[in-house]
């Protein structure tokens, strides 16, 4: 019987070392990312190394290599620094990009944290490359937001009302335990003498003091945020003696009883998602209609979208150097203020006045809202607005389903914003690779 299988000798040695370059197809995503990053201006990434160029310390890994590895990992849905380090040993594309280097997970995590401020610049450079390649036209852009889970549990949040109650309970318990510790010390002094060492705080007391301090800090954050909001909203003063002004439901700087703060990531917020309520941030994107390239990305702390429309449009304009001809958005962005701002900028806005498919009815919202409603009732307006879903919603599908990004790895609005730029950058490169590989 003749041989029917291909040769298989796993213990056979190789005469010459294999080349990773031979193991990747010519049109592989890793090659495209490597070539693209080689064209980027990464001076900000190198600046810190130039500042400490004194010959001391260990030799650092090359920033360009580290960035390639990080971007490709995000493209493939690998976000943990430990898993990235493990994947460098296991995945040929990452070994190819690392070029024989094997940075540890601590090195990868430190590189990401130390360069958070630079990811936005890389994102913008990639947008400009896409624009030069004809993938960004800035004729029509669609803006939308999606709730992305924070790196924090909703069960680690507490309302202002509960904070006040818990603070009182903990203070009472601490007084009781302090008194118990004092009487115990006096009894031990009498039994063993005053030189006996027993001055350490009981563990039970220390735990309660730590919890009290955590609650006090969270309570203070809520009060400071409320004070700022009251000042920005121009909330008027009420004069008790004269009765002038509208009597407020609560004093200035005092949050509503149900307002919450999270102990793990205080800057995240409870938001409604498709799966219920969770600790989240609101990820915003502006997508160009030509080839669905993300031209602007930012993160908000408010579950409502309306205040994000103009800042996101202006960021898209700044990133590309061009003003869009029209902006599409769903009903979450409707407001008289937004409509007037778009009219002032001479940008055609097509923003839903209600749920998708329902007739627009601005009511007493204002003249700009009436003009928007009239525009959406025209055949041309309806036809253009219908393109919104097909432009922006698939992009969130790529981010959350294809790449698998459903939760931030970092905490705090600034770090989360940088990670959002990184994931949008990775999404753009995947899209650009698919569009340019056949040209």
Task: Tell me how crowded residue 408 is: count the other CB atoms within 10 A of its CB.
Answer: 25
Q: Are residues 331 and 182 in the same domain?
A: no
Is 198 contained in some domain?
Answer: yes
- Report DSSP letters for 181-239, one per residue: HHHHHHHHHHHH-TT----SPPHHHHHHHHHHHHHHHHHHHHHHHHHHHHHHTTPPP--
pTM above threshold 0.85: no
d(CA 380, CA 180): 78
Is 7 contained in some domain?
Answer: no
Q: Are residues 76 and 136 in the same domain?
A: no
Q: Are residues 349 and 422 in the same domain?
A: yes
Structure tokens, 65 = 């290599």
Q: In the predicted model, what is the mean pLDDT of residues 324-350?
A: 96
Is 284 contained in some domain?
Answer: yes
Q: In the predicted model, what is the mean pLDDT of residues 41-53?
A: 82
Sign of the dihedral through C-alpha 372, 378, 383, 386 = positive
Is 10 contained in some domain?
Answer: no
Sign of the dihedral through C-alpha 44, 46, 50, 53 = positive
Contact 328, 140 (CB under 8 A): yes
Query: Which residue is it, tokens 């507490």?
Result: 158
Q: Are residues 369 and 290 in the same domain?
A: yes
pLDDT in tens, 276-297: 888 899 999 999 999 999 999 9
d(CA 121, CA 49): 19
Contact 385, 352 (CB under 8 A): yes
At residue 131, the 3 state secondary structure works out as helix
433 pLDDT tier (thresholds 50, 70, 90)? very high
Q: How many domains does the chain have?
A: 3
Q: Are residues 384 and 358 in the same domain?
A: yes
Structure tokens, 46 = 């190198």
Q: Are residues 68 and 209 in the same domain?
A: no
DSSP 285: E
d(CA 439, CA 430): 15
Phi-psi region of 38 (alpha: psi -120 to 50; beta: other; left: phi over 0): alpha
pLDDT in tens, 387-428: 999 999 999 999 999 999 999 999 899 999 999 999 999 999
Q: Are residues 292 and 354 in the same domain?
A: yes
Is 14 contained in some domain?
Answer: no
21-25, 66-70, 99-103, range with the lowest pLDDT: 21-25
| Full residue range of the structural domain in which residue 324 is found | 118-153+269-436
DSSP H or E run through 175 = helix 160-192
Is 3 contained in some domain?
Answer: no
Contact 141, 288 (CB under 8 A): yes
> What length is written for the chain?
439
Q: Are residues 244 and 276 in the same domain?
A: no
Query: Which residue is it, tokens 């922006």?
Result: 392
Task: Tell me how crowded residue 193 is: count the other CB atoms within 10 A of its CB.
Answer: 8
Q: Are residues 105 and 95 in the same domain?
A: yes
Q: Are residues 58 and 147 in the same domain?
A: no
Q: In the predicted model, what is the mean pLDDT of residues 360-372?
A: 76
């Amino acid at each position: 019987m003749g041989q029917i299988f291909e040769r298989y000798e796993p213990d056979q040695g190789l005469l010459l070392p294999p080349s990773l370059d031979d193991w990747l197809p010519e049109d592989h995503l890793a090659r495209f990312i490597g070539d693209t990053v080689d064209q980027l201006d990464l001076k900000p990434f190198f600046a810190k190394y130039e500042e400490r160029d004194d010959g001391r310390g260990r030799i650092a890994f090359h920033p360009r290599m580290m960035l390639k590895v990080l971007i490709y990992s995000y493209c493939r849905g690998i976000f943990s620094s430990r898993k990235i380090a493990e994947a460098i040993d296991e995945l040929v594309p990452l070994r190819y990009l690392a070029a024989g280097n094997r940075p540890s997970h601590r090195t990868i995590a430190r590189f990401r944290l130390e360069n958070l401020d630079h990811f936005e610049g890389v994102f913008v450079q990639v947008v400009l490359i896409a624009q030069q390649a004809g993938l960004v036209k800035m004729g029509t852009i669609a803006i939308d937001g999606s709730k992305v889970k924070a790196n924090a549990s909703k069960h680690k949040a507490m309302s202002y009302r509960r904070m006040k109650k818990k603070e009182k309970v903990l203070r009472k318990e601490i007084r009781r335990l302090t008194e118990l510790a004092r009487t115990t010390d006096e009894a031990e002094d009498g039994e063993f003498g005053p030189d006996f060492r027993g001055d350490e705080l009981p563990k039970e007391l220390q735990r309660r003091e730590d919890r009290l301090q955590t609650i006090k800090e969270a309570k203070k954050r809520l009060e400071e945020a409320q004070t700022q909001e009251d000042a920005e909203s121009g909330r008027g003063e009420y004069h008790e003696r004269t009765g002038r002004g509208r009597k407020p439901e609560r004093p200035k700087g005092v949050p509503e009883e149900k307002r919450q703060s999270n102990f793990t990531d205080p800057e995240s917020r409870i938001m409604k998602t498709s799966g219920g309520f969770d600790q989240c941030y609101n990820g915003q994107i502006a997508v160009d209609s030509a080839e669905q390239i993300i031209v602007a990305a930012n993160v908000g702390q408010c579950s409502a979208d309306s205040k994000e429309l103009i800042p996101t449009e202006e960021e898209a304009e700044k990133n590309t150097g061009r003003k869009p001809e029209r902006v599409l958005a769903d009903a979450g962005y409707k407001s008289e203020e937004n409509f007037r701002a778009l009219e002032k900028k001479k940008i055609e806005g097509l923003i839903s006045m209600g749920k998708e498919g329902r007739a627009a009815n601005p009511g007493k919202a204002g003249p700009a809202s009436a003009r928007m409603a009239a525009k959406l009732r025209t055949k041309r307006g309806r036809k253009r607005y219908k393109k919104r879903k097909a432009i922006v919603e698939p992009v969130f599908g790529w981010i959350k389903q294809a790449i698998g990004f459903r939760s931030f790895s970092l905490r705090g609005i600034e770090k989360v914003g940088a990670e959002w730029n990184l994931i949008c950058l990775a999404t753009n490169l995947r899209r650009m690779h698919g569009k340019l590989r056949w040209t």
